[in-house]
Structure 1
Amino acid sequence: MTKHPVDQGLPAGRLLLLGLQHMAIMYTGSVAVPLIVGSALKLDEATIALLVNADLFVAGIATLVQSIGIGKLIGVRLPVVAGATFTVVNPMILIASQYGLTAVYGSMIASGVFGLLLARPFAKMIRFFPPLVSGTLLLVIGVSLLGPGAAMIAGHDTEAPDYATPSHLGIALGVVALIVLLTRVLRGFVAQIAPLVALAVGLIVAIPLGLTHFGDVGEASWFGLASPLHFGAPTFPIAAVLSMCVVMLVTFTESTADIIAVGEITGRPATDADVARGLATDGLSAILGGFMNSFPDTAFAQNVGLVQMTRVRSRWVVAVTGGLLVVMGLVPKVGAAIASIPEPVVGGVAVIMFAMVAAVGVQNLKKVEFSGNHNTFIVAVSLGVGLLPAFATDRFGTSIFFQHFPAWLQTICGSPITLASILAFLLNLLFNHLGARKDPDLLSAP
């Protein structure tokens, strides 16, 4: 019997290059979380470096579990790359400021246990994530991530003197143009690694422009990983635990949409059992992250876009990515070398990957019947209200739309992905499940 493309292996050289490509795409997004949290908590550079190493190590283990699986309980066995979720940033900062870092990691462990217990019941709701809901969520994910993608290219502070300098924009647009050219002209494996080739060319071009800084590579150590519970024995304040459990629910919503998308792209639609195993991995990563001074992980949307673009469906490629991330977590010098790739170069690739996620959402919406119902209205409200936080930000790109709301509500509503997920899910229930009736959709085309 012929193996499904998801289960097929590839030659070692191709596996390594394709795995490296996935890692290069997700690296900046993953390490951004420990950098933001560490800076906000005014931790010293050595401690922030410790958080980065732990983050990569745990993300690598979670990625290995997602791609390879452990028995019949954990791991979706699809090309899913795991990385630290941005949803955790504000809650971690708030918890640390009120209760200390021991409460951050204690509540993370508790939320991981909560996630393991809830994974299967949550996955049973997959029937409430039809293409109408999953397509809308993926469209919101892709569009909302374009903001961070633009920040990688132009800069994170709109008032900085070097914001949106021509050299930054030029090199990013050059990377985009090169990917377009390579994808159009080349065929086969070389076309599949077009993003990686563009990254390498962009790095070379960035050197004479003074955008690269290799000093950290020489200073980084060859081996380093923080001991478990580096900040002390975990504590479990009720408010902190509840807040992190909300984060876990949000993470589940994001991961569900991404897992469904990967299943559609690879031709192996995810069942509720598949989703349950994938979500259980999110819970496992939170427990492991709590002990190893790291962060909860979720499925990374930019890597979903990469699978869509390259059409490389083998989960063993992503398993290589997981192995590389573990190595980077254990060998800081390797991580420093990857980190030397300038953000505008990575941003040029990232915006295409983010837009590919949005395109997958559009493809899902093509399967939806829009006449004689309220589906157009559901998409419109979910997009319109859900994306509001993405377009109301401060000079650093942080959403301020709900800044005067209670902290727990900011956790839920401050993320466009979370807000749109809740809206699309509830509106679909309201109009299509609870006393649904056939009415002309006033917003549909005549």
Structure 2
Amino acid sequence: MFPHVTGGYMSRPEPHPVDARPPLPKLTLLGLQHMTIMYAGSVAVPLVVGSALKLDAATIALLVNADLLVAGIATLIQAIGIGRIFGIRLPVVAGATFTVVNPMIMIASQYGMQAVYGAMIASGVFGLLIAKPFAKMIRFFPPLVSGTLLMVIGISLIGPGVGLIAGHDTGSPDYAKPANIALAFGVIAVIVLFTRVLRGFASQIGPLLALLIGLAAAVPMGLVSFKGIADADWFGLASPFHFGPPTFPIAAVLSMCVVMLVTYTESTADLVAVGEITGRPATDSDLARGLATDGLSAILGGAMNSFPDTAFAQNVGLVQMTGVRSRWVVAMAGGLLVLMGLVPKVGAFVAAVPEPVIGAVAVVMFAMVAAVGVQNLKKVEFSGNHNTFIVAVSIGVGLLPAFATNRFGNSIFFQHFPAWLQTVCGSPITVAAIVAFTLNLLFNHLGKRREPDLLQAP
């Protein structure tokens, strides 16, 4: 194929939608939309860890700022890339993973915060070393496995969405207040309306518009407080190793390395999904660069008092819903996150958005991830084989930890098992990945693939 020639001049071919750069005003609004949707999930990790360890308010604020800064840097790297080493160069938003919460609390209680961040740095180095070999396993994530995992990711995240809408303490008299639920349902209704009637760019920022309308509706309901903006500082960058020089207890390092393996499993499903959605499927080299960025985020997090990052599923759902595939939009979101990490007043304004509003938008995004999983499963042949059985068992077993959680949203299904097993199996995504991966090998790769009595389609 030759470049198109017009009037004696060769015109450049249109860039792939992933590489296209919208005009600055559109770029900023679309980036703001990505950033707003991931904000609550990302800052929840430092808030939960800080509360569990009884840290003072100033220290928790420091953790939040550091979390946003590192998430912004990781998001920029994922979108733009650094040579052939880091960044998948797809619209991937990075944010703190909840997988790290329980191990961090246990390590801090036993060894102190210096050990937490020392172990995190060590796990990041481990992640860099295994990124390429782990990425080679992408061939074991066919649509049967990846589609199942995406369904589990989307469905399991509905639980945290419920917590945002109804509240986190089921024993509180304010839990599931009708006003909060009505507000959330109203925001969802606005998203549906905008998706149906808006066209073009207005349709693409529909979730952001719905969020702003929800914020406006929440003000007279008394759900919005701007006090935090006045109290927040203008500059909030914490010095590296705020808690002191890192230490490296063997047990803590091993625990965080297990966390890195779990993070890689979660990220793999999301990165593969983004590649499919954008029409630029991730190769094993692409995946290796994306996973290496997760490892790098753990090293940065260990130095900057933050947390390891993973690809955020709700932003995968946003890409699917809006059809905006530009990685530069996500790069803008990363830049905004860095700004929020450096200027706490900006973060405080976003934090003023009530949880029921954030939760309503998040639930739609989570469900979109599950819908992407359904789309992947449409590519699977279900006649004359055990693939239906594999999907059923993987979803059923994988979701067990998702429906037994404490008030922090962490799974307690395996609470009486060894700590390392709780780390691995506390994530529904990891459990589903192990089951789907194993069953796919057992039924589709080892021995006879098809039973004689199953060759006829029903």
Q: Shorter-chain TM-score: what band?
A: over 0.9
Partner of 2:278: 266
> Is 1:94 paired with 2:127?
no
What's the CA shift for 1:435?
A: 2.2
Structure 1 counterpart of 2:165, from 130, 145, 153: 153
Provide the rounded CA distance (Å) in 1 between the counterparts of 2:189 and 2:161.
Answer: 16
What letter is aligned with 1:43?
L
The residue number in structure 2 matching 1:224 is 236
Instruction: Select the residue among 339, 342, 348 that pairs with 1:327.
Output: 339
Corresponding residue for residue 379 of structure 2: 367
Render the CA deviation track for 1:96-140: whole Å, top value 9, x for unaligned.
Answer: 111111110001000000000100010011100000110000000
* Distance verdict in 2 for CA 1:208–1:409, change over 3 Å: same
**Residue 353 of structure 1: aligned partner:** 365
Distance 2:453 2:25 in 1: 53
2: CA distance, partners of 1:366 / 1:59: 34
Structure 1 contact 373–441 (Cα < 8 Å) conserved = no
Deviations 1:317-363 (A, max 9, x none): 00000000000000000000000000000111000000000000000
**Aligned-partner SS, 2:157:** helix
TM norm structure 2: 0.96
Is 1:419 equivalent to 2:437 in the alignment?
no
After superposition, the C-alpha distances for 1:68-122 in whole angstroms (9 at most, x for unaligned) are 0000111000000000000000010011111111110001000000000100010
Letter in 2 for 1:60: G
Deviations 1:191-232, CA, capped at 9 Å, x for gaps: 110000001000000000000111010010000111000001
The structure-2 alpha-carbon separation of the partners of 1:418 and 1:443, relative to structure 1 and needing over 3 Å to count, comes to farther
Counterparts of 1:207 and 1:178, CA distance in 2: 17
Alpha-carbon offset, residue 434 of structure 1: 2.2
- Residue in 2 that maps onto 1:35: 47
Equivalent position of 1:64 in the other structure? 76
Instruction: Label 1:301 to 1:207 Cα distance change in 2 as closer, same or farther (>3 A).
Output: same
In 1, Cα distance between the equivalents of 2:38 and 2:455? 38
Partner residue, 2:5: none
Tell me the residue number matched to 1:195. 207
The list of structure 1 runs, each at least 4 consecutive aligned residues, that deviate by more than 3 angstroms after superposition, is 394-398, 440-445
Equivalent of 1:376 in 375, 388, 393: 388
| C-alpha distance in 1 between matches for 2:452 and 2:162 | 40
Structure 1 residue 395, shift from structure 2 partner: 4.7
What's the CA shift for 1:426?
1.6
Checking the alignment, whether the CA contact within 8 Å between 1:376 and 1:444 is kept in structure 2 is: no
Which of 426, 435, 439 matches 2:447? 435
Counterpart of 1:426, as a letter, is: T
CA distance in 1, matches of 2:409, 2:190: 28
Q: Is the 2:237–2:341 contact (alpha carbons within 8 Å) kept by the matching residues of 1?
A: yes
Contact kept? 1:26, 1:303, Cα under 8 Å: yes
**1:422 shift after superposition:** 1.2
Shift of 1:159: 1.0
Contact 2:383/2:455 (8 A) holds in 1: no
Structure 1, unaligned runs of 5 or more: none
What letter matches 2:78 in structure 1? Q
Secondary structure, counterpart of 1:83 in structure 2: strand
How far off is 1:445 after superposition?
Answer: 7.4
- Which protein is bigger by CA-based radius of gyration? 2
Code of the aligned partner of 2:378:
K
Unaligned runs of 5+ in 2: 1-12
Aligned length: 446
Secondary structure (helix, strand or coil) at the match of 2:95 reads: strand
Change in Cα spacing, 1:329 to 1:444, as seen in structure 2 (3 Å) is farther
TM-score of the aligned structures, taking structure 1 as reference length: 0.98
